[in-house]
Structure 1
Amino acid sequence: MQTSSYGSAATSLATAKMVLKHDGIKGLYRGFGITIMREIPFTSLQFPLYEFLKYRLSLAMGARRLHASEGRDMRVGPPSTGSLSFLTGWLRNIKDPTSKMPSLLSRSRQIYIDEGMKALFAGVVPRTLWISAGGAVFLGAYEWVMGGLVDR
């Protein structure tokens, strides 16, 4: 879908070649900085929050060790990934490769002034729902692997 902005017959390879021709290697990494600014906080907080919620659930269930399926259920996995995706989701809305705004703050301020608070959080609900569902699967797989490694 993104390559279609370069023409209906554009392929990923053709688009990459066009970007390289017009913008050089930097063109391939446009938006990388803001993506990292979103992903590092999300990833850095995901596991500690998940483990904290798992710990609280364990206490509520009599301080017993939780089974892998309990770690990924709706009480732990989705809330940990969903809440973080909501909090960091607005960062995806300030990615604008054509913007000459030098900083995150100035770009955020400009969107707020031009389009309002709603524009900063556009698409956050679908992203939160998608990442919450993904969190249940991802963290369930994590628990399954960790259970296999720890129980050996």
Structure 2
Amino acid sequence: MPNRLSHLGAPPASFKIEDLRTFCACNVAGGVAGVAVDLILFPLDTIKTRLQSPQGFNKAGGFRGIYAGVPSAAIGSFPNAAAFFITYEYVKWFLHTDSSSYLMPVKHMLAASAGEVVACLIRVPSEVVKQRAQVSASSRTFQIFSNILYTEGIQGLYRGYKSTVLREALWSWRQDHVVDCWQSAVCGAFAGGFAAAVTTPLDVAKTRIMLAKAGSSTASGNVLSALHGVWRTQGLSGLFAGVFPRTAAISLGGFIFLGAYEQTRSLLLELGRASP
């Protein structure tokens, strides 16, 4: 997930037309930027997933079919990013207060957490299908989606929801204030990379839960149980499997996201001013 909390202020209590245009432009730009990051860095995500898979990197596909699962990521990326932005902005507005600035980080953390809870309603089904396609490149995305619904029902698409929300909420708390573009790019890359490395065990647990065989203990979605299982069989190296491609993807994602976000936002605002 890119650094998507920058440059977004809480909407005022009453919208003017220009405020509404700016708010909509920011949210659409965030969605477009999210899609750009997901598609450009998809190969790194595939490598990370295969490194974390229980069958091991080579059996999961190695470097073959590196774009397996990309349709699922492409379909889910925009609505996922938009859902986060809309919820994040609404909660910030709802919690708006004139109290001391020391409460601002708390407000941003709560807004980010709420945004992740809502966004994960879209992200998790997309992630489940994507990750299964990544470790089974010979299967088509729609075939995997249909098979999940047939064998596990709708709950199969939400396997790993708790671990995903926990991982994303912890990751998103790193950004608690609005900063300049260059600060966002540099600080976001370093902070995002560090947060990505620290939360890798949660990402491993999420991957194992999503890829686990239906009916197994891991498939039940217990995060601590999944973490313990990885620790017992693979130790510390297993808990941090895929840490390098994950850290690289998120660090690079901050720069790509910022560029795509600013370009799209500027274009939309310019078009908005030109329209009557």
For normalisation by structure 1, the TM-score amounts to 0.68
2: CA distance, partners of 1:5 / 1:86: 22
Q: Distance in 2 between matches of 1:4 and 1:123?
A: 14
Give the counterpart letter for 1:24 in structure 2.
G
Percent identity, aligned pairs only, is 31
- Once residues 22 and 5 of structure 1 are traced to their aligned partners in structure 2, the CA distance between those partners, rounded to angstroms, is 18
Q: Give the number of the structure with larger relative contact order, counting CA–CA contacts within 8 Å between residues 6 or more apart.
A: 2
Query: 1:107 Cα shift?
Result: 2.3
Residue type of the alignment partner of 1:16: F
Residues 1:133 and 2:252 aligned together: yes
Q: Which residue of 1 aligns with 2:224?
A: 105
1:29 aligns with 2:158: yes
Aligned-CA RMSD value? 3.0
> CA–CA distance in 2 between the matches of 1:73 and 1:4?
29
Contact 2:189 2:251 (8 Å CA) reproduced: yes
Change in CA separation of 1:106 and 1:7 when aligned onto 2, cut-off 3 Å: closer
Deviations 1:84-128 (A, max 9, x none): 111112211113233515632232222212211110001111111
The two structures have a TM-score, normalised by structure 2, of 0.40
The residue aligned with 1:60 is none
1:63 counterpart residue number: none
Q: 2:171 aligns with which of 42, 54, 59?
A: 42
Listed as ranges, the gaps of 5+ residues in structure 1 are 55-65
Are 2:199 and 1:88 equivalent residues in the alignment? yes
**Which residue, 106, 119, 133 being the options, matches 1:3?**
133
**Contact between 2:185 and 2:254, CA under 8 Å: does it hold in 1?**
no
Larger Rg: 1
2:183 to 50, 58, 71: 71
